[in-house]
A and B are shown apart, each in its own frame.
Chain A
Amino acid sequence: MTADSSFSIQAEKLTKKFGDFTAVNEITMNVKRGEIFGFLGANGAGKTTAMRMLCGLSTPTAGEAVIAGCNVYKEVEQIKKRIGYMSQKFSLYEDLTIVENVEFFGGIYGMSRSDLKNKSEALITKLGLQNEVKKLVGSLPLGWKQKLSFSVAILHQPEIVFLDEPTGGVDPITRRQFWDLIYDAADAGITVFVTTHYLDEAEYCNRISIMVDGSIAALDTPTNLKKKFNTESMDDVFYELARGAKRGDN
């Protein structure tokens, strides 16, 4: 597979097996630079495993992938420098203040103190958190925390940011604000790779893929998918695909 610099993520027949169980089965996708790519699928469909491989957290069993221009087998350390990650669990330190969190996460990406100082000031102004600077993160409302978490994930200006169900448990207004941040990031040239269970959010994406039983069952723009399945809503598309699934919670 040749690396194409217009793509941030290129995966070809990427597979992960745990013993006899094939968690991810030959998934192939190309995500363009600056694209917002939705990664959908029912629980247990293999989304998290696929994402872990793309982040360099898990070595694929077979297949190939180039992430931010780096080979997923050989250049894991390079990948880590070029991606940002926000997990579905809230993952800032609650016993640290906003600034301390920003300084820590910037620091482990190797950012210098002066660089960090400017970045964290800009971040706080952008989020309108000037009055909360000295507060511990634990005392902030969930919506703020998630926005902060996202801003921290893109602090070091990664090429791609991976978001694992970033809006779980957040109210609709904050979700909307959160998506504004995602658009800003995409406009700034950051590729956004996002998993979600909210199908209205899927409509905000440039393209989406839907995983069923470890494979990608559909991959296209939301409009094209709705056309293809001859329906008005993404809910129906998802239901149509996912109801045949053998794996899952039930």
Chain B
Amino acid sequence: MQTSFSSLKNQLFSFVRKEFYHVLRDKKVLLILFGLPVVQVLLFGFVLSNEVKDSRLVIVDMAKDEASRQLTNKFEASRYFETDLISANEADIEVAFRRGKIKAAIVFPSNFQYDLQHGNKTQLQIITDGTDVNQANTINGYISSIVYNFVSESNQQTVPYRVVPEIRMLYNPQLQGAPNFVPGVMAMVLMLVCVLMTSVSIVREKELGTMEVLLVSPMQPALAIISKALPYLLLSFLNLLIIIALSVYVLDVPVKGNIFLLISVSTLFIVTCLSLGILISTNTNTQQEAMFVSLIGMLMPTMLLSGFMFPIENMPLALQIVSNIVPSRWYYIIVKDVMIKGAGIESIWMETLILGGMGLFFFVVSMKKFKIRLA
């Protein structure tokens, strides 16, 4: 018994060490493993944000009174706008829009302050570029909130009876883009690294012909699979820490919940993805095939169906049902809950169970497949 245990240990040790040699000597693999997460996090963090910053805003001030100046000051102070004052007529505005120089315009009517203080109704014209609907809506939102803010400040004493809705965006008060996508990027990167890397690395052995030698050896298939996956488990874990560190220190998205809970559940997700990678490798014969299946079969659904880019609630029923079998959908919910909302295990246990169940299923099926191939 002693000897068989030590030989198992030797087998595992040699195999894992060999896998590390493969990974560490292949610069392309290293680049994908560690370059990709960093690039994705930074890309989504800084470039692909749905925040609209520094929009050029033209203010046509016909009133030139104190109230219009105060409101103008508020726009100037906002980081969302870069204000440009033109006193000229409204015709100039259209020219500026057409040239694409400005994103929005605000026109103060000539009796702005008077109406504000005496009448019940003050008009303020807001013009936005409707060619990009999402952007126009976002800018409208920013302008409205600044105007609303201004009105409620200046009217506090004068009008006693008013309903003042106090709007708060829970968990993300500044409506930043980053908290929304960090969980998505985590799901995507871990999925990509675990599924793609594992499947390709196993299929490569088939292509090279070394698989045959491994199959003739006394190494147990289960042990071979585990030693194949172990290095990727470690590397993905490292990746996970890098992503969390980047989001906390570079993107200012803190981990609100328990970090150990986040890490444990992420490890579960990693294991699920690794099993999926192994499953893909048992069904494919070339590296290209494995890569294709991993990318089309896994990465696309992760991007489209996990709720990260498009809300699942808005999808047609059929797609909503399909989204249930995408592991990253559940992981995305978990990360959002734990990392952004600060939720504990009591609110994510169901998602965790589903994820664990999927992992177990993939693992068992791939073990079966692996053995059948031996016969």
Contact = CB atoms under 8 A, between A and B. Distances in A.
Contact of B25 (A57, A80, A95, A109): A95
Most buried by B among A59, A93, A106, A162: A93
B121 to A, nearest CB: 76
A111 B218 CA distance: 12
B14 A104 contact: yes
Most buried by A among B7, B14, B26: B14
Contacts of A108: 11, 14-15, 214, 217-219
Contacts of A56: 216
B21 A107 contact: no
Given A95-B21, A96-B18, A113 B218 contact: no
Interface string B193-222: 000000000000000111011111111000
A110 B375 contact: no
Given A106-B14, A110-B11, A85 B218 contact: no
B212 A91 contact: yes
B217 A109 contact: yes
A111 B10 contact: yes
How large, as a class, is the contact surface on chain B? 20 to 34
Given A57-B374, A59-B375, A80-B218, A91 B10 contact: no
Most buried by A among B11, B25, B213: B213
B200 to A, nearest CB: 14
Interface string B236-259: 000000000000000000000000
A104 B17 contact: yes
Nearest to A89: B209
Interface in A59-90: 59, 77, 80-81, 83, 85-87, 89-90
A34 B304 CA distance: 63
B69 interface: no
B19 to A, nearest CB: 10
B15 A104 contact: yes
A59 to B, nearest CB: 5
A80 B14 contact: no
Contacts of A95: 21-22, 25-26
B65 to A, nearest CB: 76
A139 interface: no
A110 B216 contact: no
B218 A58 contact: no
B213 A58 contact: no
Contacts of B218: 77, 80-81, 108-110
Interface in B111-161: none
Contacts, number: 83
A159 interface: no
A55 interface: yes
A110 B210 CA distance: 18
Contacts of B21: 93, 95-96, 100
B10 A83 contact: no
A112 interface: yes
Contact of B10 (A77, A80, A112): A112
Interface in B52-69: none
Nearest to B4: A110
B288 to A, nearest CB: 19
B6 interface: yes
A103 interface: yes
A112 B6 contact: yes
B151 to A, nearest CB: 69
Given A110-B7, A110-B8, A110-B218, A91 B210 contact: yes
Given A108-B217, A111-B10, A87 B18 contact: no
Contacts of B212: 57, 85, 87, 89, 91
Given A87-B209, A93-B210, A105-B213, 6 more contacts: A80-B216, A89-B208, A96-B18, A96-B21, A103-B14, A110-B10
28 contacts: A55-B216, A57-B374, A58-B375, A77-B218, A80-B216, A80-B217, A85-B217, A89-B209, A89-B212, A90-B209, A91-B209, A93-B21, A93-B210, A95-B22, A95-B25, A95-B26, A96-B18, A96-B21, A96-B22, A104-B14, A107-B10, A107-B11, A107-B13, A107-B15, A108-B11, A108-B14, A108-B214, A110-B8
